[in-house]
Structure 1
Amino acid sequence: MTWHMPAETAPQDRIWMAFPREGQTLGETSAERDAGYAAWAHVASTIAGFQPVSMIVDPTEMARAKRMLSSEITLHERTIDDFWMRDPGPTFVHGPDGALAAVDWVFNGWGGGDWTASGNDRDLARFIADLTGVPVVPSLLVNEGGGIHVDGEGTVLLTETVQLDPDRNPNLDRGRVAEEIARTLGATKAIWLPRGLERDYDTFGTRGHVDIVACMPSPGVILLHDQRDPSHPDHAVMQGIRAQLAAETDAKGRSFEIIDLPAPETLTDAHGPVDWSYVNHLVINDAVIACAFNEPRADTQAQEILAAAYPGRQVIGVDATELFARGGGVHCITQQQPKPRAS
């Protein structure tokens, strides 16, 4: 059977999220934890103003979730470890008849760092598939939703330090990964980026997720993170990636139109160079939920670029500083469930 992952701009039924629970990622102090809870809740309420949101909630956090989330958000109780839904959650695909299915990647906590546990998240995709009443597409590939991006027409962006990570898939090479991606997502052209942003290789990083580097808002077009300050390590990283993509073609043989998405002006925080990125946005039916960083000039510029890339959708900025302080952005904490496609 041939499966096909639609573009993120395809019509959606709902967005899936997971409510934060206490642990290293959320924060060490009560103030840090409260800021994390508030950030997740704000993203959820913003999305819920447009379309349904379903939230997985650990039993230890159900009372707090009920207090902080509006009644229009559907809550599902289940024990979880982490709350970055894009990664342990399902990747939804269409079958040949247009019916929906859910790819269940192997999730091992972004390569199995000692700071994370993944045992309670490994069956999360199946749990959500059961809730939505769709079949599971099993895969033995260790992968995460933030490590892939498709255009819906056969092109997928991957990163060598993610899918070829020896702590993820020690026995696989490019060819075998591409075969499995083709089987599960219907992507016939894999474009391998050499790496991700510098901060993503720190302790709490994913080792190179593509969803803060590049995305394809429409076939033949790439929105690309653009770090313009030569003092930031991602300046050189992105120069190399931009040169590579300028020479690439997609699954249909088209050269890419590259749209630069300038990084915020902030370069560092207490832990070193930041990986703040406007690429990490969520596309929903009538809007784009964009990361904002309390930088009016840069935030406005990014939202104008996103509005042009996604015509007909309202662009709404949400403060993502607390999300990135914990290792990701708006795209990382969400997962879209597309509508079935008419056969």
Structure 2
Amino acid sequence: MSLTPTPLMPAEWAPQDRIWMAFPAPGYSLGDTAEDADEARTTWAAVANACSAFEPVTVVVDPVEAAAARSVLAPEVEIVEAPLNDAWMRDIGPTFVHQPDGSLAGVDWVFNGWGQCDWATWDRDSQIGAFVCGAAGVPRIGSAMVNEGGAIHVDGTGRVLVTETVQLGQGRNEDWTRAQVEEELARTIGATEVVWLPRGLTRDYERYGTRGHVDIVATFTSPGRVLLHDQRDAAHPDHEVSRSLRELLAARFDVVDLPAPVTLRDAEGWVDWSYVNHLVVNGGVIACSFDDPHDAEAVAILREAYPGREVVSVDARPLFDRGGGIHCITQQQPSPRT
């Protein structure tokens, strides 16, 4: 094993300098109708504007959407322009890490449309990791591994949660071994303990899913403590998923159950609505709401999980209708370590 110091990805509750987002571009994220487009623009803007109350926010906008973006984003939200296919900054942007001297760098994973999904295009989005590194003024750490920011969660001490069906799944790193994935995570984000979850939520394996992103399933809230999506209704197939993941994680960590919404289905089938998919910001938490009876309980649990932070809820249903949530459309840039 190399003794050379490696970068380390800090926990999401560490101090931050900025939140990065991307604005919906023509195509899948804006949808087919004017009503769809307005809903996407206003929802992405609601998240950006909520974040901007806590810290600076920069939104990457396709040039054709610049005027529309400015009309809905708060004046203090910065806009930078670059060509985009979609708007999931967590997955297309860099993963920021601390270098051994405490300065920042950005890990630029290979992005290939969540495993070359037949509906996705990624010729533009695959360039956003390098673009954001340049705009942020940080060195780029290249990686040959297909990965997305929504597919990892860290505790800031070297532990990382991943999912077998993502890092080793169809269309991504099919010829890699677990050891190779773990070695690359060690090199790029300082992983010393990789916790492999066998799968993600049921809806995430349908056509427009990511095939198991961890950021709607489980997240660290401190070293040794995990928030877990808890589907309490046995009618939903994720009830068994929650049960099996809890058994696995409880062997290593203190597990706090975060209830799934009461709502079980939408027009497309079983929902994967998840309060786990929240964003921690300086002094706050931007939380998903679903106009659901469990919204208030989820807020209370998040307040307890992140003491001293204000929890602000944004209706995330339009995001989940398009395949993700608040965590999926954001990426934190941590402050340099002093």
Settle same-fold status: TM greater than 0.5: yes
- The equivalent residue for 2:328 is 332
User: Which of 249, 263, 268 is residue 266 of structure 1 equivalent to?
Assistant: 263
CA contact (8 A) 1:159 1:209 kept: yes
Secondary structure of 1:15's partner? strand
- The equivalent residue for 1:198 is 202
Secondary structure of 1:242's partner? helix
Unaligned runs of 5+ in 2: none
Counterpart amino acid of 2:286? I
- The equivalent residue for 2:115 is 111
Counterpart amino acid of 1:180? E
Counterpart amino acid of 1:46? A
- The equivalent residue for 1:164 is 168
Instruction: Between 100-109 and 60-69, report the one with greater CA deviation.
Output: 60-69
Secondary structure of 2:165's partner? helix
Asked if 1:93 is matched to 2:90, the reply is no
| 1:184-263 aligned within 5 A | 184-247=188-251, 249=252, 256-263=253-260
Q: Aligned equivalents of 2:25 and 2:123: distance in 1?
A: 15
Instruction: Between 32-41 and 85-94, report the one with greater CA deviation.
Output: 32-41
- The equivalent residue for 1:36 is 40
- The equivalent residue for 2:276 is 279
- The equivalent residue for 1:183 is 187
- The equivalent residue for 2:299 is 303
CA contact (8 A) 2:29 2:40 kept: no
Counterpart amino acid of 2:313? G
Asked if 1:124 is matched to 2:128, the reply is yes
User: Per-residue displacement from partner, 1:289-324 (whole Å, max 9, x unpaired)?
Assistant: 0000012x3111000000000001001111001010
Q: Aligned equivalents of 1:121 and 1:35: distance in 2?
A: 22
Q: How many pairs are equivalent?
A: 334
Secondary structure of 1:62's partner? helix
Counterpart amino acid of 2:324? G
Q: RMSD over aligned Cα, in angstroms? A: 0.8
Q: CA deviation at 1:217?
A: 0.6
- The equivalent residue for 2:71 is 67
User: Per-residue displacement from partner, 1:29-65 (whole Å, max 9, x unpaired)?
Assistant: 2212211111001011111111100000001101101
Q: CA deviation at 1:159?
A: 0.2
Secondary structure of 2:125's partner? coil
Q: Aligned equivalents of 2:274 and 2:170: distance in 1?
A: 27
Counterpart amino acid of 2:325? G
CA contact (8 A) 2:166 2:211 kept: yes
User: Per-residue displacement from partner, 1:220-261 (whole Å, max 9, x unpaired)?
Assistant: 0000000000010100111111111112x3xxxxxx110000
Q: Aligned equivalents of 2:31 and 2:262: distance in 1?
A: 25
- The equivalent residue for 1:253 is none
Q: CA deviation at 1:128?
A: 0.8
Q: Aligned equivalents of 1:65 and 1:5: distance in 2?
A: 31
Q: CA deviation at 1:153?
A: 0.8
Secondary structure of 1:87's partner? helix
| 1:20-59 aligned within 5 A | 20-59=24-63
TM-score by length of 1: 0.96
Q: CA deviation at 1:197?
A: 0.2
User: Per-residue displacement from partner, 1:154-190 (whole Å, max 9, x unpaired)?
Assistant: 1100000000013101210111101100111111100
Counterpart amino acid of 2:228? L
CA contact (8 A) 1:26 1:326 kept: no
Unaligned runs of 5+ in 1: 250-255
CA contact (8 A) 2:28 2:86 kept: no
Asked if 1:316 is matched to 2:312, the reply is yes
Q: Aligned equivalents of 1:41 and 1:58: distance in 2?
A: 15
CA contact (8 A) 2:186 2:192 kept: yes
User: Per-residue displacement from partner, 1:1-54 (whole Å, max 9, x unpaired)?
Assistant: 411000000000000000111212332222122111110010111111111000
| 1:10-25 aligned within 5 A | 10-25=14-29
Instruction: Name the % identity.
Output: 58
User: Per-residue displacement from partner, 1:129-161 (whole Å, max 9, x unpaired)?
Assistant: 111111011100000000000000111000000
Q: Aligned equivalents of 1:201 and 1:178: distance in 2?
A: 24
Q: CA deviation at 1:196?
A: 0.4
TM-score by length of 2: 0.97
